[in-house]
Amino acid sequence: MKPQPGLARSIIFACVALLLGGASLGPAAAASRPIRLVALGDSLTAGYNLPQSAAFPVVLEKALRAKGYNVEIANAGVSGDTATGGLERLDWSVPEGTDGVILELGANDMLRGLDPTIIRKALETIVERLEARNIPVMLAGMYAPRNLGADYVRRFDSIYPAIAKEHGLVLYPFFLDGVAGDRSLNLPDGLHPTAKGVEIIVERILPSVEAFLARIQQR
């Protein structure tokens, strides 16, 4: 049966409306995409001698999701890594499509007594290269043990606040806050947190991460 012209026009209009309606779903679908973070760090991020379910990125993602955030956090922690090592693997550790990076490096450099000038240069270069890719950075800082001497402590401890100030970054001053020095929250080596220690780290860093997510969502 040959369709009437009016009916044909109605079918065409309906199809166009359906297509336009489908197109309008695009932004909503994009908005529902998880915020993809990368935790770039050393053994403190990797979860040294812990099950992966107890590693910092996994526990942080779980805590954020419990608060209603649609977020995925990739674990790009490598045990023993230095700031320079993180810089060398930056491109493949932080893939395209990453919305933000939590940068936690420098502790191994400090434990080896490396020159704070070199540490700062590596960390700052990481930040600058990510900025060039339009990827925001949150900086997780570290403090040097006081037995390294007043001059070294002053130079090392100033690295993270200085970079954060210069680049306008969200800064969490001391990644091991509330955990360092507590034997019950660290493995026998006294350097790496237990699963409970990681939970405390996540609890304390959470407000800073939420501030970081707010910046990402406003972009």
Catalytic position from the list 32, 42, 43, 151: 43
Catalytic position from the list 32, 151, 184, 189: 189
Give the tokens for residue 121: 């240069």
Alpha helix positions (H), the chain:
5-23, 25-31, 43-46, 56-66, 83-88, 90-93, 107-111, 116-132, 150-157, 159-167, 195-217
Residue pair 72/61 in contact (Cβ under 8 Å)? The answer is: yes
| 99 is annotated as an active-site residue | no
The owner of tokens 């270069």 is 125
| 189 is annotated as an active-site residue | yes
CA 152 – CA 37 distance, rounded (Å): 32
What is the phi/psi pair of residue 73, to 5°?
-120, 115
Distances (CA, A) of 150 to 111, 153, 173, 190: 15, 5, 18, 22
Catalytic position from the list 42, 81, 99, 192: 192
Q: Which residues are catalytic?
A: 43, 189, 192
